[in-house]
Structure 1
Amino acid sequence: MQRVCVIGGSRYFGKLLVERLQAAGHQITVINRGSSRPTTGIEHLLVDRDDEAALVAALGSRTFDVVVDQVCYTPVQAVIAARAFAGRTRRYVMTSTIEVYDPATAALPTTPTGTPVPEEIVDPATWLVAMDLPWHDEAYLEDHYAEGKRQAEAVLTRDGSFAFASVRSAHVLGGGRQEFTGRLAYYTKRIAQGDEIAVHAKPLSTVFIHHEELADLLLWAATRTGFTGPVNACSDGLLDVRDLAAIVTEQTGREPVYRTVAAGETASPFSFDRHYAMSNTRAKQLGFAFSRTADWLPGAVAEALTASAAPTV
């Protein structure tokens, strides 16, 4: 049994992670602002992680074997976390994102198109941190999501108060209405209704992960102490937007109606005119076995179709 602190953990794969930790017999403390209370048997600290004094006071004398941070989006939040948990935990795992590799958001080394991107393309140990940017501005943060994650990783990598690992998640799908981004529902609804989908002339492939698989990987990353640094989390198999639409077509019987947009223009979700599909080789070498996207995506599409057809309560 380990003492595990989860920051966030109130919805989707974060909620699943908490459930899996509890099922595995770990002692769990969840920290969030109260949007959702954890189940019976899990300690809940109701506090805003951005308020350092309140966070330290809420933690009291608690110590943990590992902290899993689901909601760290900026270097400011990372600095607060580093100070608050220094001396309280031996290990810290942050949920990050595939977006850190997006060449549209930063000057990054290039890899050949079609070659999955390895972790070292974005090295948090050398990434520039700028604390004076308007990270508290919601609009700025939304526009600089990828950079916020890169800099948060950089802060926690360099802090040295604990062993640090980041899990860079692919695009997460599955769970029907639980999939709060609505990106898969966008395709199931539009294709079923015969509405247009905006795609690039030559959309490039990307990678995905099922929400249950991501919860499993986060559990593995939290309880495995033998590695640090970033690790990519994606199911096996590259798919582009037309591959995704084809799976929806198989279940709806409706052919997608495409509208082609120029490179650089806004398109539908998962239509990319730039390459940054991730490699999951490091996680495999460390011992995690991934599923194939093609095996679970039809089921996720079916869930989305069922959810869209169900009446709203």
Structure 2
Amino acid sequence: MDEVCVIGGNRYFGRRVVELLRDGGAKVTVLNRGSATPPPGVAHVVADRDDEAGLLAALGGRSFDVVLDQVLYRPEQAEIALRVFGGRAGRYLMTSTVEVYDQVHGVPGRPLGEAEFDAAAWAGAPSDEYAEGKRGAEAVLARQSALPYAAVRTAHVLGGGDADFTGRLAHYVGRMRSGAEIVAHRPSRPATFVEYGEIADFLVWAAGSDVTGPVNAASHGELDVRELCALIAAQGVPEARFTEAGEPSPFSFGHYYGVDNARAEQLGYRFSRLADWLPKVIEEQVRA
């Protein structure tokens, strides 16, 4: 894996992916619209991925061993990517999401395997809705055979300190400190998570492997939003006050989001345990 193109990679764990690839000796090209400067030591191509002609012109004669797409959200984007990178890339790696399982009625305690969503059989319509867009993008890749691909179905990401722009964990700490109610499902269903550095490491590992098709990426263990709040309270923050009225808070789910990481582990990657890193991530947020 000498030449790698990262589409996106501007912030959060995407930027960490770029740094890890660079530090591992890969020749990295970051492709984005120019809204953020990539880390030092990597090439930068400025283009709009939705503008096929402009993208072709910007890439010129470049070719890559792997393309790692951090910002593939819709099927039409996947179609453009196949036309542009077909013949100039050895493999295509998409950062997907466990949200593709949001229509699966899972049972707590029975983590969802990759077969629970068959991308090739997707029968939805193009949509700007996040989960449906990801399903459609996966489907486009799954229904072709010219370009080997993998779709990393990423669990909900936590950690990263100042790099975490999402504000999801800060939402809980802030509301618990102020005494404001937290909107949560009753019952709240468990989900799986992955640490910021670990998902970056996994994506780099996947880019250098020969894995194809969908693969779940999550730490071992799961918890629901009420358990998350209890861990925050254990750091000295006032206990959470819950309500069911209003828009549910981040990480509050009315259906089960636990995913099975067995395929990734069978392929050679070893995930951490949620209980081993989450308290430290919470402590960092409480002290921020």
CA contact (8 A) 2:173 2:237 kept: no
For 1:247 and 1:99, locate their aligned partners in 2 and report how far apart those are by CA, in whole Å: 24
For 1:28 and 1:178, locate their aligned partners in 2 and report how far apart those are by CA, in whole Å: 21
For 2:269 and 2:65, locate their aligned partners in 1 and report how far apart those are by CA, in whole Å: 21
Q: What do the CA deviations read for 1:116-149 (whole angstroms, capped 9, x no partner)? A: 100011111221264xx4x5xxxxx2xx110100
Equivalent residue for 2:204, pick from 189, 200, 219: 219
Q: Does 1:77 align with 2:58?
A: no
CA contact (8 A) 1:114 1:275 kept: no
Aligned residue for 1:251, secondary structure, equals coil
Aligned residue for 1:294, secondary structure, equals helix
CA contact (8 A) 2:219 2:274 kept: yes
Aligned residue for 1:90, secondary structure, equals strand
CA contact (8 A) 1:200 1:267 kept: yes
Give the partner amino acid of 2:84: A
For 1:175 and 1:193, locate their aligned partners in 2 and report how far apart those are by CA, in whole Å: 24
The equivalent of 1:118 in structure 2 is 113
The equivalent of 1:146 in structure 2 is 131
Equivalent residue for 2:236, pick from 245, 252, 255: 252
Q: TM-score of the superposition, structure 2-length normalised?
A: 0.96
Q: 1:89 to 1:25 in 2, by over 3 A?
A: same
Structure 2 unaligned residues grouped into runs of 5+: none
CA contact (8 A) 2:18 2:39 kept: no
For 2:59 and 2:247, locate their aligned partners in 1 and report how far apart those are by CA, in whole Å: 44
Q: Does 1:171 align with 2:156?
A: yes
Percentage identity across paired residues of the two chains: 52
For 2:123 and 2:229, locate their aligned partners in 1 and report how far apart those are by CA, in whole Å: 38
Q: What do the CA deviations read for 1:50-108 (whole angstroms, capped 9, x no partner)? A: 000011111111111000000000001000000000100110000001110002xxxx4
CA contact (8 A) 2:96 2:152 kept: yes
Aligned residue for 1:73, secondary structure, equals coil
The equivalent of 2:180 in structure 1 is 195
The equivalent of 2:277 in structure 1 is 296
Shift of 1:201: 2.3
CA contact (8 A) 1:66 1:90 kept: yes
The equivalent of 2:47 in structure 1 is 47
Equivalent residue for 2:260, pick from 279, 288, 302: 279
RMSD of Structure 2 on Structure 1 (CA): 1.4
The equivalent of 1:230 in structure 2 is 214
